[in-house]
Amino acid sequence: MLRDKLHFSGLLDPQPVTTFALRTSVRTRAPLNCNPKSSYNGFMTSAAPDSVQSRTPSTAPLVDDFGRQVSYLRISVTDRCDFRCTYCMAENMQFLPRNEVLSFEEISTIASRFIARGVRKLRLTGGEPLVRRDIMDLVRVLGRRVSEGDLDELTLTTNGSQLGRFADELVDAGVKRINVSLDTLDAYKFSEITRRGRLEQVLDGIAAADEAGLAVKINMVAMKHVNDDEIIDMLKWAHGHGYDLTLIEGMPLGEVALDRNDNYLPLKQLKDELAGQFTLERLSHSTGGPARYFSVKETGGRIGFITPMSHNFCESCNRVRLTCTGQLYMCLGQEDRVDLRAALRERGEDGLDEALDLAMILKPKGHDFDVARAAPAVKRHMSVTGG
């Protein structure tokens, strides 16, 4: 009976899924073989979809079983990217057919339900979000929610390649800051890491964003034997231009060409090395994400550390991730997900609210990254759920 109550038939992937007992830590694996049209054992109702009467949209905060409130939604608007970074995706990626991707209207509707239930920050990711056709239409719609006071912030993570085209429009739409992924300042090494990107184009894009008035934060994945000899140069360059720098440990997501074990660089070790050359002072500053920030006295800038491998931050997790196909992942390092596309298309806002209620039950206590494990923690690439 408990299984019937907790399976949100048709919203959970029809592959074997995790069965969760409400308010317990018991987990078992069981196949879900049911037709959502004929056997809709909904989380909030046991009636079939066509017979369920519409209810008042919920405004209840999204709080998981561990007392963490979700206030931050990351939305991947596309799995496509104009780069093929070695730590992020395979060189010959098979991208999704465009007809499987959420429309801008669907993304806006889903975002609105999250906002109604307490989410205050949205981040658009990819792939590379700025390669999606007419992306600024969506940015403008979501940006209005900031100007209307419904959101605190709309931000964007980008590889920088398209910033020369879109920086001014982003500012006009209400975006005030962006994260730019940049792992090296060496042009040859940049082309090796990205497989097809041009460093000059990215640097010009960053300069355009700065000139347009966007606050820029540089995200650098720290990799042993790849760019560990450049970190001080990157820090001085970023701070010299007034940009924050965040260093990130590589994460075991999807099969990639890079040898993750060989290239893994624990940031505690790196932070200790930096502390031998710079004066680092812990800051209370937060951007709503997992980074721990320090001021660098000698440069006057800020440096952040994101440590999913060596020191996880799961106890304070306030985030969920929506893929471009409408799959809601409650944890970057786990496979549990709820299908919001099915919920929206079959039941509208009622279905979304029920799916979000279920997602809070399914949100795990933490991820399961282990640097000693040879296989990836999850099969999907970083570009699927967004960086």
pLDDT tens digit sequence for 49-98: 443 455 678 999 999 999 999 999 999 999 989 888 887 777 777 778 88
Q: What pLDDT shows up at residue 32?
A: 30
C-alpha distances (whole Å) from 307 to each of 364, 367, 371 are: 18, 12, 12
Whole-number Å distance between alpha carbons of 9 and 124: 29
C-alpha distances (whole Å) from 22 to each of 1, 2, 43, 252, 363 are: 12, 8, 11, 29, 12
Least Cα distance to 387 among 314, 313, 306, 316 occurs for 306
Q: What pLDDT shows up at residue 2?
A: 35
Evaluated on CA atoms 73, 74, 78, 79, the torsion sign reads negative
Helix (H, G, I), strand (E, B) or coil at 74: strand
Name the stretches of the chain with pLDDT < 50.
1-9, 14-52, 254, 256, 373-377
Least Cα distance to 172 among 158, 157, 160, 154 occurs for 154
Task: Note whether 85 and 378 are within 8 A (CB).
Answer: no
Whole-number Å distance between alpha carbons of 35 and 310: 42
Count of CB atoms situated within 10 Å of the CB of 179? 22
Structure tokens at 85: 């970074």
C-alpha distances (whole Å) from 312 to each of 63, 98, 292, 316 are: 20, 35, 11, 10
Evaluated on CA atoms 247, 251, 254, 255, the torsion sign reads positive
Task: Note whether 318 and 72 are within 8 A (CB).
Answer: yes
pLDDT digits (tens, 9 = 90+) for 26-49: 333 233 333 333 222 233 333 334
Give one word for 254, left, alpha or beta, with left for phi > 0 and alpha for psi -120 to 50.
left
Least Cα distance to 314 among 359, 349, 365, 377 occurs for 365
Q: What pLDDT shows up at residue 38?
A: 26
Structure tokens at 23: 């308010």
* Beta strands at 301-306 and 244-249: parallel, antiparallel or unpaired: parallel
What CATH architecture is 72-317+368-385? Alpha-Beta Barrel (3.20)
Whole-number Å distance between alpha carbons of 63 and 65: 7
Task: Note whether 302 and 334 are within 8 A (CB).
Answer: no
- Measured in whole angstroms, how far is the alpha carbon of residue 184 from the centre of its chain? 22
C-alpha distances (whole Å) from 208 to each of 60, 191, 203 are: 41, 21, 9
Q: What pLDDT shows up at residue 385?
A: 65
Count of CB atoms situated within 10 Å of the CB of 255? 11
For the chain, the distance separating the N- and C-terminal CA atoms, rounded to the nearest angstrom, is 38
Whole-number Å distance between alpha carbons of 158 and 198: 14
* Beta strands at 292-296 and 301-306: parallel, antiparallel or unpaired: antiparallel
Sketch the domain layout of the chain as residue ranges: 2-52+334-362, 72-317+368-385
